[in-house]
Structure 1
């Protein structure tokens, strides 16, 4: 498929960090591409860093390990390098005939029982590929009462079982991170957050650095999300910002390259997304220049605390 070819092209261009998730439904293609490039000798397994994530419907402690095993089966890998809790809240999904952890992998349809305020709501048959966003009759997302602290304790088991080398968080704020740190015997090494010039996350990044937590930044270019419950009004698009264009012209670079360089100089690991071979190359050609302090400051001044990915009911 297209995704498999994109990942192979990315490896050829020099990319070594691949970020996926059960929710993205692309683990099989990502894994197939990585395995193909290992098989042809382009890379070895220890030269790539693979991240995947635990989705919100799988926060119950008893399903964390089986869910990672499902992801590993999808990827065709013996371990991932990093496993993240995707969001700091769970969705309440229970099945009439017992909990089934492989929400996206069961080939046949099954009856889903949704519960809200103690009353079961029976959904229509849920097919493979449904997006894991359970809603009640009023189309409100149904949140579970599973505490992510309890989820974290089982995330640690994933490390002990050598299913992942490290574990971390995604979309957690400083108070939520601290709650995990207070109980953790294995510390979170990463917090993956939305980060771009219109949402520079200065305070949260400072907190993470103080705690020795690496920040990875998704949606570095802004732009709309295709997931309805995450969408909140107009989407910020820093790629079109005239101030960033001015900086780009000064360095003879594209606005995308300036944004990625800006994030890197703030110590953030950006996660750009592209299926275009030329843009893949463009996005990695950012290590032969450096933004001067006044240009970094000018980019800092663009912050609007404008978020793209936001569960509007949460």
Structure 2
């Protein structure tokens, strides 16, 4: 079972590991290596998404470790997400079934609506970011977040996911969903780090009983140029974080993650470096 000493209890009573491996913008080859390193290091939560186009590679490793007796399925907490092109309620069940086939699993532990922005579906399941001739994303003609949520709720009843939640939703969108929900979202996954502390979101989610999962918890290392334009240094190189890490004998990454964990979030730092994965 999931180690309850290192979990947060979601509002539906399920336990979610505090720490997980993020796999956004990770190639299939990198995903295989990263997930192996994470499982070897004792990680229980693996976070992926249909949009990342690496679910099948992650599924290969999960089956390798499950069938090899290295881990038990019930000891893992696997998260994936509904893509924006499949937000039409009629497409939701088919979409999670596609993800489950890729992951080679009977169910996921948490299924998230990836973004509150339905994109036009042209029948091509691999075209996850359809664009207009201008290059802008092609948004669906109709937006029905309530209808999408009700379809996602049915996945719980079907046993295809243990818990459901959202990602990148605003406070007003969370409140709308909670007003009509049979099963309230247990998680809102948002960018959160020392430069983007999300105080209003924390306050709202506490009131609604929703747990925050922080992605980019190290300060968006992949966006250095943008952050420098804003007068911000990357979190790992921040002089204050450097001083704290020297004082306590921890790595800057450990300090940044501890800051968020103490606020009650779960965190999913992304890395493809086995040494960094082990040094969580």
Q: TM-score, normalised by structure 1?
A: 0.75
Gapped regions of structure 1 (runs ≥ 5) = 105-129, 284-314
Counterpart secondary structure, 2:279: helix
What is residue 54 of structure 1 aligned with on the other side? Answer: 82
Q: 2:137 aligns with which of 137, 141, 145?
A: 141
What is residue 162 of structure 1 aligned with on the other side? Answer: 159
Asked if residue 29 in structure 1 is aligned to residue 57 in structure 2, the reply is yes
Counterpart secondary structure, 1:35: helix
Q: 2:215 aligns with which of 199, 214, 218?
A: 218
Indicate the RMSD between aligned Cα atoms, in angstroms: 1.8
CA distance in 2, matches of 1:58, 1:44: 31
Asked if residue 64 in structure 1 is aligned to residue 92 in structure 2, the reply is yes
Question: How far apart are residue 135 of structure 1 and its match?
Answer: 1.7
What is residue 235 of structure 2 aligned with on the other side? Answer: 238
Q: Deviations over 1:143-191 (max 9, x none)?
A: 1222211100000111111111111000011110001011111111111
Counterpart secondary structure, 2:221: coil
Q: How many residues align?
A: 247
Q: Deviations over 1:206-254 (max 9, x none)?
A: 211221111100011112369xxxx899585211211111111111111
Question: How far apart are residue 16 of structure 1 and its match?
Answer: 0.3
Answer whether contact 1:57 1:92 (CA < 8 A) is retained. Answer: yes
What is residue 109 of structure 1 aligned with on the other side? Answer: none
User: Structure with the greater relative contact order (CA < 8 A, sep ≥ 6): 1 or 2?
Assistant: 2
Question: How far apart are residue 3 of structure 1 and its match?
Answer: 1.9
What is residue 85 of structure 1 aligned with on the other side? Answer: 113
Runs of 4+ that moved beyond 4 A? 231-236
Q: Deviations over 1:4-32 (max 9, x none)?
A: 23211211101000000000011011111
Asked if residue 176 in structure 1 is aligned to residue 176 in structure 2, the reply is no
CA distance in 1, matches of 2:227, 2:169: 18
CA distance in 2, matches of 1:172, 1:57: 17
Answer whether contact 1:89 1:147 (CA < 8 A) is retained. Answer: no
CA distance in 1, matches of 2:109, 2:267: 17
Answer whether contact 2:50 2:80 (CA < 8 A) is retained. Answer: yes
CA distance in 2, matches of 1:166, 1:61: 18
Change (3 A) 1:233 1:177: farther
CA distance in 1, matches of 2:119, 2:133: 15
Question: How far apart are residue 43 of structure 1 and its match?
Answer: 1.2
Answer whether contact 1:86 1:170 (CA < 8 A) is retained. Answer: yes
Answer whether contact 2:37 2:278 (CA < 8 A) is retained. Answer: no
Change (3 A) 1:225 1:83: farther
Q: 1:199 aligns with which of 196, 199, 202?
A: 196
Change (3 A) 1:225 1:26: farther
Q: TM-score, normalised by structure 2?
A: 0.84
What is residue 126 of structure 1 aligned with on the other side? Answer: none
CA distance in 2, matches of 1:234, 1:54: 33
User: Which has the larger Rg?
Assistant: 1
Gapped regions of structure 2 (runs ≥ 5) = 1-28
